[in-house]
Structure 1
Amino acid sequence: MEQKKLTDEGVAKLKAPTDQQFQNHFDKHVPGLVLRVSAKGRKTWVAQYYTRSTRKEDGKPITIVTSKSLGLYPILKVKEARDKARLFLADPKKALSEAKALAEEKMRVEEKALAEAKARGPSFKEVAENFVKRHVETKGLRTKADIERLLAKCVYPKWGDKPFRDIKRSEVADLLDQIQDKHGARQADVVLAIIRKTMNWYTTRNDDYTSPVARGMHRSNSTDHKRKRILNYDEIKALWTACDSMTDKTVFGAMVRVLLLTAQRREKVATMQWANLANGVWTIPTEAREKSNAGSLTLPQVVQDIIAAQPRLEDNPHVFPGRTPGRRRKSTDKTPPAPPAFNSFSKAKEAFDLLMLNELQKIAEARNDSAKLIFVAKVRTLLEANAAAKGREAKKELTRQLKQEWWTLHDLRRTAKSLMAKAGVLPHVSERVLGHSIKGVEGVYDRHSYDAEKADALQRLADLVDRIVNPPEDNVIALRR
Structure 2
Amino acid sequence: MPLTVYELEALTEADRGRVLSDGESVWGKVYVAKHGAVSVNFFLTYKFKGAKRNLSLGTWPSVELKEIRKAKNEAKDQINPSAKSKREPVDPVEQAQLKRQREAAAAEVERLKIEADRQEAMLTQQRRLQSLAAQQARLTVKGLFEQWQRLELVKRADKGSETERSFTRDVFPLIGSMAATDVGKAHVQEVVDTIKTRATDTQNMVRTAKKTLADMRQMFGFALDRDYIEADPTARIKKAKIGKDVERDRVLSEAELIDLFRKLPLAGMADTSQVALLLQLATLARIGEVLSARWEHVDFDRRIWTLPETKNGKRHEIWLNDVAVRQLKKLKAVTGLTPWLFPATRAKKDRPDFADHVCEKTVTKQVGDRQRPGDAPMTGRSKHVDALVLIGGKWTPHDLRRTGATIMAELGVLPDVVERCLNHTEEKKVKRIYQRAQYEAPMRDAWRLLGERLELMEARAKGFADNVVTLKTA
Give the TM interval when normalised to the shorter protein: 0.5 to 0.7
1:133 aligns with 2:147: yes
Distance 2:148 2:257 in 1: 48
Alignment of 1:370-389 (within 5 A): 383-388=372-377
Alignment of 1:307-456 (within 5 A): 307-310=328-331, 312-313=333-334, 316-317=337-338, 321=342, 328-329=346-347, 332-335=350-353, 337=355, 345=363, 349=367, 383-388=372-377, 405-442=393-430, 444-446=432-434, 448-449=436-437, 450-456=439-445
What is residue 472 of structure 2 aligned with on the other side? 478
Write the deviation string for residues 27-56 of structure 1: whole angstroms up to 9, x where unpaired.
xxxxxxxxxxxxxxxxxxxxxxxxxxxxxx
Distance 2:374 2:211 in 1: 30
What is residue 152 of structure 1 aligned with on the other side? 172
Write the deviation string for residues 65-98 of structure 1: whole angstroms up to 9, x where unpaired.
xxxxxxxxxxxxxxxxxxxxxxxxxxxxxxxxxx
What is residue 284 of structure 1 aligned with on the other side? 306
Alignment of 1:130-209 (within 5 A): 133=147, 137-138=151-152, 140-141=155-156, 142-143=159-160, 145-146=164-165, 149=168, 151-157=171-177, 160-161=178-179, 163-164=181-182, 169=185, 172-173=188-189, 176-177=192-193, 180-181=196-197, 188-201=209-222
Write the deviation string for residues 126-175 of structure 1: whole angstroms up to 9, x where unpaired.
68855763686146343363476355322244xx24745xx665565456
The letter of the residue matching 1:233 is E
Structure 2 unmatched ranges of 5 or more: 1-133, 200-204, 380-385
Report the CA distance between 1:413 and its aligned residue: 0.1
Distance 1:248 1:173 in 2: 40
Write the deviation string for residues 204-225 of structure 1: whole angstroms up to 9, x where unpaired.
567x96646325366643522x
Higher relative contact order (CA 8 A, sep 6+): 1
Instruction: Find 1:457's aligned residue among 436, 443, 446.
Output: 446
CA contact (8 A) 1:296 1:451 kept: no
CA contact (8 A) 1:320 1:341 kept: no
Report the CA distance between 1:297 and its aligned residue: 2.2
Report the CA distance between 1:473 and its aligned residue: 3.3
Rg comparison, structure with higher value: 2
Distance 1:121 1:319 in 2: 41
Report the CA distance between 1:412 and its aligned residue: 0.4
CA contact (8 A) 2:282 2:450 kept: yes
Secondary structure in structure 2 of the residue aligned to 1:312: helix
The letter of the residue matching 2:367 is K
The letter of the residue matching 1:445 is I
The letter of the residue matching 1:478 is K
Secondary structure in structure 1 of the residue aligned to 2:252: coil
What is residue 85 of structure 1 aligned with on the other side? none
1:241 aligns with 2:265: no
Distance 1:388 1:134 in 2: 39
CA contact (8 A) 1:297 1:451 kept: no
Report the CA distance between 1:418 and its aligned residue: 0.9
What is residue 81 of structure 1 aligned with on the other side? none
Q: 1:283 to 1:304 in 2, by over 3 A?
A: closer
The letter of the residue matching 1:317 is T
Instruction: Find 1:253's aligned residue among 267, 274, 277.
Output: 274
Distance 1:345 1:193 in 2: 26
What is residue 324 of structure 2 aligned with on the other side? 303
What is residue 39 of structure 1 aligned with on the other side? none
Report the CA distance between 1:384 and its aligned residue: 3.4
Distance 2:226 2:340 in 1: 48
Report the CA distance between 1:448 and its aligned residue: 2.2
Distance 1:180 1:243 in 2: 33
- TM-score, length basis structure 2: 0.52
CA contact (8 A) 1:294 1:433 kept: no
What is residue 106 of structure 1 aligned with on the other side? none
Q: 1:404 to 1:137 in 2, by over 3 A?
A: farther
What is residue 104 of structure 1 aligned with on the other side? none
CA contact (8 A) 1:274 1:319 kept: yes
Q: 1:285 to 1:126 in 2, by over 3 A?
A: same
Write the deviation string for residues 315-354 of structure 1: whole angstroms up to 9, x where unpaired.
733785557xxx6447544426358699863675378x5x
> What is the root-mean-square deviation in Å for CA atoms of aligned residues?
4.8
